[in-house]
Copies of this chain bind each other. A is one copy, B any other.
Amino acid sequence: MYIGVDIGGTNIAVGLVDEEGKIIHKGGVPTGVGRPFEEIMKDIADLIKRVIEESDYKEEDVKAIGIGSPGLPDDEKGTIVFANNLHWHNVPVRAELEKYFDLPIRIENDGNTAGLAEAVAGACKGVENSITLTLGTGIGAGIVINGKPYSGTHSIGAELGHMIVQVDNGIPCTCGNSGCWERYASATALIREGKKAAQDNPDSLIYKSVDGDLDKITAKTVIDAAKEGDATALELFDKYVYYLAMGIITIINSFDPAIIAIGGGVAKAGDFLMDALKKKVAEHIFYKDVPYAQITRAVLGNDAGIIGAAMLGRL
């Protein structure tokens, strides 16, 4: 058995996970960002103990604790170097948790834990090289090479949302650069363009379906309108799929994984998105007659964070 801890900006989820990546029992608490670090870590320790207690297992059955965190963890030192949305800077996560548990404790970026989860127990099971993309506020990415999460030499890799896809006149990004992929292909990007298009086209279904209240526009609003055949939404959707495809082309031309799994809010559009995406990638692929990555939906949803964190203990 392994414990997986998924630290998010809003909630912390903890699960007891078996060798195959199956969640046996799980629980959650609010993160309460802004509280003292030690307080949050005590909540995590209490939650881990509760989750184990509520299961049929005991602490002795647990081989390791894995932690998935946003930002930049340093697994070697056992710290989280930066996690802006947790307001954490160089916090000793492992040392703090070792006050409560005598177990190996591993730390990874949450993009990479999601990727590892899909590789062990999800859409990328059975292949050596895979990449899981999460299309949400930004674009999260988890890279698995030779069955192991890959985040590079200084743990600053796998930030595929910050591949530069527009060097000239790129859209400014929260990271300080301009032209990052997530400014073009995240849910946020689709919403931003949806609002613009609705404002310019009050006749469009996007505008109508929110009764003109543009702040209500979500990725789903745009995609649903495109599914209905609304011209404004379709044009926008096509452009979005193009941006998504071009980033995936870069991933294929550089990493050439066996599978690219796509999760996050936007992926809920299902086959409507996936079919359009696969078609666009096929149009732009470098080697036309050679097999390349299968593009598929991620399957673990929110549980990926817990499962992937837990599976760190198996590596």
Contact A160 B254 (CB under 8 A): yes
CB-CB < 8 A to A24: which residues of B? none
Contact A292 B156 (CB under 8 A): yes
CB-CB < 8 A to A152: which residues of B? 129, 255-257
By CB atoms of chain B within 10 A, which of A159, A168, A177 has the most? Answer: A168
- The 0/1 profile, CB within 8 Å of B marked 1, for residues 248-291 of chain A is 01101111111000000000000000000000000010110011
CB-CB < 8 A to A162: which residues of B? 249-250, 253, 286
Q: How many copies does the complex hold?
A: 2
Judged by a CB distance under 8 angstroms, whether A82 is at the interface is yes
Judged by a CB distance under 8 angstroms, whether A207 is at the interface is no
- What total of chain A residues lie within 8 Å of the partner, measured CB to CB? 53
Judged by a CB distance under 8 angstroms, whether A166 is at the interface is yes
> From A258, which residue of chain B is reached at the shortest CB distance?
B153
CB-CB < 8 A to A258: which residues of B? 153-154
Contact B242 A177 (CB under 8 A): no
CB-CB < 8 A to A287: which residues of B? 72, 82, 156
Q: How far is the CA of A167 from the CA of B247 in the complex (A)?
A: 9
Contact among B156, B247, B256, B286 with A253 in the assembled complex (CB-CB below 8 Å): B156
- The 0/1 profile, CB within 8 Å of B marked 1, for residues 142-185 of chain A is 01011000111111111110111111110000011101000010
Contact among B127, B159, B165 with A165 in the assembled complex (CB-CB below 8 Å): B165
Judged by a CB distance under 8 angstroms, whether A213 is at the interface is no
Contact B156 A252 (CB under 8 A): yes
Contact among B128, B158, B252 with A254 in the assembled complex (CB-CB below 8 Å): B158
Judged by a CB distance under 8 angstroms, whether A246 is at the interface is yes
Judged by a CB distance under 8 angstroms, whether A293 is at the interface is yes
8 more CB-based (< 8 A) A-B contacts, given A154-B290, A165-B167: A72-B287, A129-B152, A153-B258, A156-B252, A160-B253, A163-B163, A164-B247, A165-B165
